[in-house]
Amino acid sequence: MSRLDFEDVTVRYGHHTVLDRVSLTVPEGQIMGLVGESGSGKSTLARAAVGLAPLDGGRILLDGQPVRHRGRRRPIQMVFQDPFSSLDPRMSIGRSIAEALPDRLGRGPRAAEIARLVQLVHLDPDRAADAPSRLSGGQRQRVAIARALAGRPSVVLADEITSALDVSVQGAILNLVREMQRETGLTVLFISHNLAVVRYVATHVAVMAGGRIVEQGPTADVFANPASAYTRELLASIPGPA
Amino acid sequence: MVIQQAEVQQAVSRPRGRWWTFAGRRVRRLLISLWVLVTASFLMIQLVPGDPVRAALGTNAPPDLVASRRAQLGLDDPLLEQYLRYLGNLFTGDLGESILTQLPVADTIVQRLLGTLSLAVPAFLLTFAIAIPVGVAMAVATRRGRRRRAELSFVGTSIVLSSIPEFVVSVALVAVVAVNLGILPAAGRDGIGSFVLPVLALSIGPAAVMSRIVRVEMLAVLDADYVRTARSKRLSSLRINLRHALPNAVTATLTLSGIMFAAMVAGTVLVENVFAWPGLGSTIVSSIRSRDYPLVQGSVLVYGAIALLANTLVDVAVAALDPRSTIGDS
Amino acid sequence: MRRHWPQVLRTPVGIVGIALLTILLLLAVLAPLLWGDRATATDTGDILSGPSSQHWAGTDDLGRDIFFRTLVATRLSIVLTLLATALGVGLGLLLGLAPLLLPRRLGRIMVAFLNVLLGFPSLLMVLFLAVILGVSTSSAVLAIGVAIASPFARLVHTLGAGIAERDYVAAARISGVNPVRVIVRHVLPNVAEPLVVNATVTASSVLLAFGGLSFLGIGVQPPQYDWGRLMQDGLGSIYTNPLAALLPGIAFVVTGLAFNLTGEAAAGTFGAKSRSRSRWTSPAAPVTVRPSGSGDEEHARVADVLDVRDLHVSFPGPEGPISPVRGVSLTLRTGEAVGVVGESGSGKSMTALAVAQLLEEPGRVTAERLTFCETDLQAGARSDHDALLGTSLAVVFQDPMSSLNPVMRIGSQLVEAARRHQGLTRQEASDRAVDRLRAVHLADPERRARQHPHEFSGGMRQRTMIAMGLMGTPRLIVADEPTTALDMTVQRQVLDLLQETRRDHGTAILLISHDVSVVSSVCDRVLVMYAGRIVEDLPSADLRTKARHPYTRALIGAVPDMATDLDAPLTTIPGQPVDPRNVPDGCAYAARCPLATERCRQDDPVLVADAIGSVACWHADVALDVRIEEEAR
């Protein structure tokens, strides 16, 4: 699929520098985890990649080409944290998904495509007509994933997509992310504050703190032999049996 | 405890001078608003359809009188020159002369303004004196679905009272108290008794609205986590309600008081009319009707400036009283 | 939005409002047709007379009937109100939505301009515009329309900007939907409800503004007349015929009420809809009382800090009480740390609140036994236990940002309980507060005590909550998700502090968390809750190896830890958690359980104690066997 490169990306809000010359490569066809604490800038990095946060410096490249944020075709899609805010309460989930389809389709093919996407995330295609209020948090997150896939992206950014979910649902969504990536070969940037979750889904990991990347590499290596003191501190903070 | 260092820094990094930043921004907005107000009031005379002087003096006025008044008002000079002169005069407190009476507008306004403020200020204080205790008491008594009937009758009464415009209240008060019962004067400013009806007329509606707002704020605060924390300390309910909940509910309410005061000052226009009260409100209306534009101009300027000043003062004062960091957001 | 209108009609307030509006609209249409002549007919022989059988509200200076004039004036008053409202609302929508479409800087300038306009009272704006536009009916409409546009625009902008920040709007933008379409499709429909409500209330203030202008003689001009004009005319004869001024006044009040009541009812309905999600409002299953947990009655030993037997929590619902906690029994010994885990809605937080005696009306707590430090908390009045609970029981809540009072200094919040319950002097109490802040490892506690909560970080606030508990001699800390809102490194510190407190003061800890790993890092014992019951109770060391309830095992398997097998999928739990309004017969977990049989669906399993712990499952033995088989493979 595609490789996503951040080159010296800087984002400021007023006088506050949120991203400070961040350079990061999300390898092609892999899931890269991005960990860090609140305020470290990890969400802003994702928002910058889809054009929701304007850059104050640097560039973001998709397969070596600058990412475009115009027109119907958007190769980078994003799934958000809060399942209760990520779907328009007044649109059926089918319409929400249809909105993200890049091509204008006739009624029949469109319905078929929506059904395909809904099934892809293991929901009953009959539910396409349902309003989001009839869905649980986990089901909404599935719809949000289907919507992201509807845009036929080459890269998907997942921003804390399980942290607002109940523990019992979290596992199912993580399974879905892994399965989806394996089947489609998508490039995924998986943002989470939870190291165990990142260890489970991601082959590569980058650690962010204070708007900078402090460490990156294959997940197993980074977690086994952390090079930076901050990563070591994060690993030491994981609660475990006393 | 090495890690805590970062945490401490994060918390301390909020500058102490935040209030000053806020006050500075608020004063800047005040200055811009004042400039808009001054310019608008200047343009008012220019925008009036036809010749303002002819309109004021009537169609039968001799042409040379009109011409001399025009010259006197400087209406024949280039616009920019007029504007600069207007600004310059403002700084010396000169608001021009009335076309009709030829008295200085500033003198008339100062004299009448005192009459208006002598209604608006007591009405403002009375509103809060009613709204805060009533709102707080109703919130405490009716929270969590208790005393549904009391809640319904309170909300109902308050909606009814706030639906009555101040001029209707004024007329009703005059009809009932002054005419029927004959206990208080129906019009004019004559002794302390003559203040009662206009002040009541001005404050009944706002008090009804305010007490409802106080109640809603108080209900929200009583459900806040920090009130639960206070209850977990098993403090007396008096202390929980008055020391923990009330200040939070009132700060939110006070934010609205600037707008309310401004509206109240404006509301005197109608009330003064009913009570034949010698204030700025009756002046502005009569000058609009008689097309005495310099007087209208001056009155609009003063009304607007009072509203703007009240808003700014309240905002800055609330920000100073409220130690929360949220003040920066407005 | 249309869907909700019928609901407006279900409240008495709404019915009155809509009925009044209908009558007024009918009057507006019919009155001029029916009584137009009688309202303009002059009777020079009967001028300025009081109420009589011919003229119910008397006559004016031309001998015209005031009653009929008031009725006929309905049309003009209402038509002008609606015109000016429509103008203001339309203009407001344009001005309010424009900043969302304009380039960022231009939008910001526009919002700043709106803010400046808002500083002026609308009556002043109306007067100003009335001067410029000249005194006439149409210029009054224009003036009022423009004057109400700015507050309405502000509302549109605030609401619209709120929606524009939603993730679904971001998602639409990311997938290339054009900005105008985003506004029309996503923003407008989601702000329509509050806007309709506000427009209704605005209409009532337009009515009054118009009335005010006419009353002042600068609105409607003769020979046209509206209620404001009629009031002004009537004011002159207030001594001879007060009704002449009061009747149009009553018309104002009735119309204003009609708009306001309709708006209130609509706001109530719309509001209630979004509120109902978080409250217990609908049908409930009858409370099934079952034999209490682990049998022996001699459980309450002297060393027990907390002894709870068969605890129920219920809330009134429209169709009978709803019980989020249905018979929980638990015991905590001195210095013991017990965790409670479960999904949201399992009743764990309610249990914590009930134990801490912080559940408020209309919630009801009943228990066979509820003993804290050998005191029966159910005996006597709540206030009888204030001193005990105020000094010996501490609580820490989930959200550190809202659990401290924002307008009080940290020091004052610490000292008040000690002053009330321990009778310390001001000086003693504040010395102790500083000492306690030091004990929870806050640097520079003297300065910290003088600060306000907003100067503290989340972790520092949770420490402060613990310090608050340490002002007395805490026997028990009830901590409800105390670290959920915190970063991982800060979470570690707060958990360490809880451990330290327990070690140094022998304080028992009841830790509620959704996170199994947090609980097992702090607690000796873990209680697993499902649908308001404890389904398993076991030592936390055995959680990963000896859990027998299928729900416990699924909970553990669903969450990856640093040792999870990367090649196997995580455990999933099918279906939804039980709705406390509709608890099924038999085992509440049966519908989601892979081991469920007919017996599970009919008979409710009881919590049975054995060597490992307690479990409420008919297949507890099977479950363990399956587990062992899995491990053998």
The count of CB pairs under 8 A between chains A and C is: 167
* Alpha carbons A22 and B200: distance in angstroms, whole number: 65
Please list every residue in chain B whose beta carbon sits closer than 8 Å to the beta carbon of residue C465.
229
- pLDDT for B189 equals 77
Q: What are the DSSP calls for A147-190, one per residue?
A: HHHHT--SEEEEESTTTTS-HHHHHHHHHHHHHHHHHH--EEEE
CA distance A8 to chain C (A): 23
- pLDDT for C274 equals 36
Mean pLDDT to the nearest integer, C263-285: 48
Q: Which chains touch C (3 or more CB pairs under 8 A)?
A: A, B
Please list every residue in chain A whose beta carbon sits closer than 8 Å to the beta carbon of residue C167.
80-82, 85-86
Cβ-in-10-Å burial (0-12, 13-18, 19+) of B28 comes to exposed
- pLDDT for C50 equals 77
Mean pLDDT to the nearest integer, A177-205: 93
CA distance B47 to chain C (A): 6
- pLDDT for A188 equals 96
% of residues, chain B, pLDDT over 70 = 92
C508 against B155, higher pLDDT: C508
**B4, C441: Cβ pair inside 8 Å?**
yes
Rounded to a whole number of angstroms, the distance between the first and last alpha carbons of chain A is: 44
Give the SS3 label for residue A21: strand
pLDDT in tens, C557-566: 888 888 889 9
- Angle A213-A218-A224 from CA coordinates, rounded to 5°: 95
Tokens encoding A3: 């490789």
* Alpha carbons C611 and C600: distance in angstroms, whole number: 23
Mean pLDDT to the nearest integer, B175-181: 83
Query: A172 and chain C: CB distance < 8 Å anywhere?
Result: yes
Q: Is the predicted pLDDT of residue A94 greater than 90, yes or no?
A: yes
- pLDDT for C401 equals 83
Residue in chain C nearest B153 by alpha carbon: C13
* Alpha carbons B281 and C216: distance in angstroms, whole number: 10
Using CB atoms, pick whichever of C116, C246, C417 lies closest to residue B33. Answer: C116
Q: Is the predicted pLDDT of residue B330 greater than 70, yes or no?
A: no
Q: Is the predicted pLDDT of residue C271 greater than 50, yes or no?
A: no
Q: How confident is the prediction for chain A on average, in pLDDT?
A: 91
SS3 content of chain C, % helix, strand, coil (to 5): 55, 10, 35
Please list every residue in chain C whose beta carbon sits closer than 8 Å to the beta carbon of residue B228.
358, 397, 403
A237 against C38, higher pLDDT: A237
A60 — pLDDT class (breaks 50, 70, 90): very high
**C358, B228: Cβ pair inside 8 Å?**
yes
Residue C580 contacts residue C363 (beta carbons within 8 Å): no
pLDDT in tens, C112-140: 888 888 878 778 888 888 888 888 888 88
pLDDT in tens, B259-285: 888 888 888 888 998 888 888 888 888
Q: If you average pLDDT over each of A50-59, B250-259, C124-133, C614-623, which comes out highest?
A: A50-59
CA distance A71 to chain C (A): 6
Q: Is the predicted pLDDT of residue C295 greater than 70, yes or no?
A: no
- pLDDT for A140 equals 93
- pLDDT for B58 equals 78
- pLDDT for B323 equals 67
C623 — pLDDT class (breaks 50, 70, 90): low
> Residue B314, Cβ neighbours under 10 Å: how many?
19
Mean pLDDT to the nearest integer, B223-238: 92
Domain with CATH 3.40.50.300 in chain A: 1-75+155-242
- pLDDT for C45 equals 76
Mean pLDDT to the nearest integer, C6-22: 80
pLDDT in tens, B64-81: 888 888 887 778 888 888
Tell me phi and psi for residue C618, to 5 degrees.
Answer: -70, -20
- pLDDT for B62 equals 85
Query: A80 and chain C: CB distance < 8 Å anywhere?
Result: yes
CATH architecture, range A1-75+155-242:
3-Layer(aba) Sandwich (3.40)
Q: Is the predicted pLDDT of residue C272 greater than 80, yes or no?
A: no
Q: Is the predicted pLDDT of residue C47 greater than 80, yes or no?
A: no
- pLDDT for A104 equals 79
Query: C131 and chain B: CB distance < 8 Å anywhere?
Result: yes
Q: Is the predicted pLDDT of residue B143 greater than 60, yes or no?
A: yes
Q: Is the predicted pLDDT of residue C276 greater than 90, yes or no?
A: no
- pLDDT for B19 equals 73
Query: C114 and chain B: CB distance < 8 Å anywhere?
Result: no
Q: Is the predicted pLDDT of residue C344 greater than 70, yes or no?
A: yes
CA distance C192 to chain B (A): 23
Contacts of B91 (CB under 8 A, 6+ apart): none
Residue in chain C nearest B252 by alpha carbon: C407
pLDDT in tens, C582-598: 888 899 999 999 888 99
CA distance C9 to chain A (A): 23
% of residues, chain C, pLDDT over 70 = 91
Using CB atoms, pick whichever of C175, C186, C344 lies closest to residue A77. Answer: C175
Three-state SS sequence of C503-556? HHHCCEEEEECCCHHHHHHHCCEEEEEECCEEEEEEEHHHHHHHCCCHHHHHHH
C624 — pLDDT class (breaks 50, 70, 90): low
C626 — pLDDT class (breaks 50, 70, 90): low
Please list every residue in chain C whose beta carbon sits closer than 8 Å to the beta carbon of residue A147.
171, 175
Phi-psi category of C423—alpha, beta or left, where left has phi over 0 and alpha has psi -120 to 50? Answer: left
Query: C626 and chain B: CB distance < 8 Å anywhere?
Result: no
Query: A190 and chain C: CB distance < 8 Å anywhere?
Result: no
Using CB atoms, pick whichever of A88, A167, A239 lies closest to residue C168. Answer: A88
% of residues, chain A, pLDDT over 70 = 99
Segment among A134-138, C106-110, C214-218, C626-630 with least mean pLDDT: C626-630
- pLDDT for B6 equals 38
Mean pLDDT to the nearest integer, C573-577: 84
Q: How confident is the prediction for chain B on average, in pLDDT?
A: 83
- pLDDT for C270 equals 55
For residue C362, whether the previous peptide bond is cis, meaning omega lies within 30 degrees of 0, is yes
C545 — pLDDT class (breaks 50, 70, 90): confident
Please state the ipTM of this predicted complex.
0.90
* Alpha carbons A241 and B16: distance in angstroms, whole number: 42
Mean pLDDT to the nearest integer, C187-205: 88
pTM: 0.83
pLDDT in tens, A211-221: 999 999 999 99
Q: Which domains does chain C have, with CATH numbers?
A: 2-272 (1.10.3720.10)
Three-state SS sequence of C19-53? HHHHHHHHHHHHHHHHHHHHHHCCCCCCCCCCCCC
Q: What are the DSSP calls for B105-143, one per residue?
A: HHHHHHHHHHHHHHHHHHHHHHHHHHHHHHHHHHHHHHG
pLDDT in tens, C479-491: 999 988 888 888 9
The count of CB pairs under 8 A between chains B and C is: 222
pLDDT in tens, A135-186: 888 899 999 999 999 989 999 999 999 888 888 888 899 999 999 999 989 9
**Which residues 547-606 of C have a C-beta within 8 angstroms of B?**
none
**Which of C20, C24, C127, C375 should we substitute to test contact with B (largest number of B Cβ atoms within 10 Å)?**
C127
Tokens encoding C170: 């971001």
Using CB atoms, pick whichever of C174, C541, C569 lies closest to residue A175. Answer: C569
Tell me phi and psi for residue C321, to 5 degrees.
Answer: -65, 150
C366 — pLDDT class (breaks 50, 70, 90): very high
Q: How confident is the prediction for chain C on average, in pLDDT?
A: 85
Segment among B233-237, C56-60, C150-154 with least mean pLDDT: C56-60
* Alpha carbons B65 and B68: distance in angstroms, whole number: 5
pLDDT in tens, C150-192: 889 989 998 998 898 899 999 998 888 888 999 999 999 999 8
Segment among B179-193, C79-93, C384-398 with least mean pLDDT: B179-193
- pLDDT for C265 equals 81
Alpha carbon separation from B225 to B220, C291, C325, C353 (Å, rounded): 10, 35, 21, 12
Q: If you average pLDDT over each of B184-198, B296-310, C613-627, which comes out highest?
A: B296-310
- pLDDT for C6 equals 64
**C173, A52: Cβ pair inside 8 Å?**
yes
Q: Is the predicted pLDDT of residue C250 greater than 50, yes or no?
A: yes
Order of all β-strands in the sheet with C525-530: C393-396, C476-480, C508-512, C337-341, C525-530, C533-539, C614-615, C608-609
- pLDDT for C625 equals 54
* Alpha carbons C66 and C41: distance in angstroms, whole number: 11
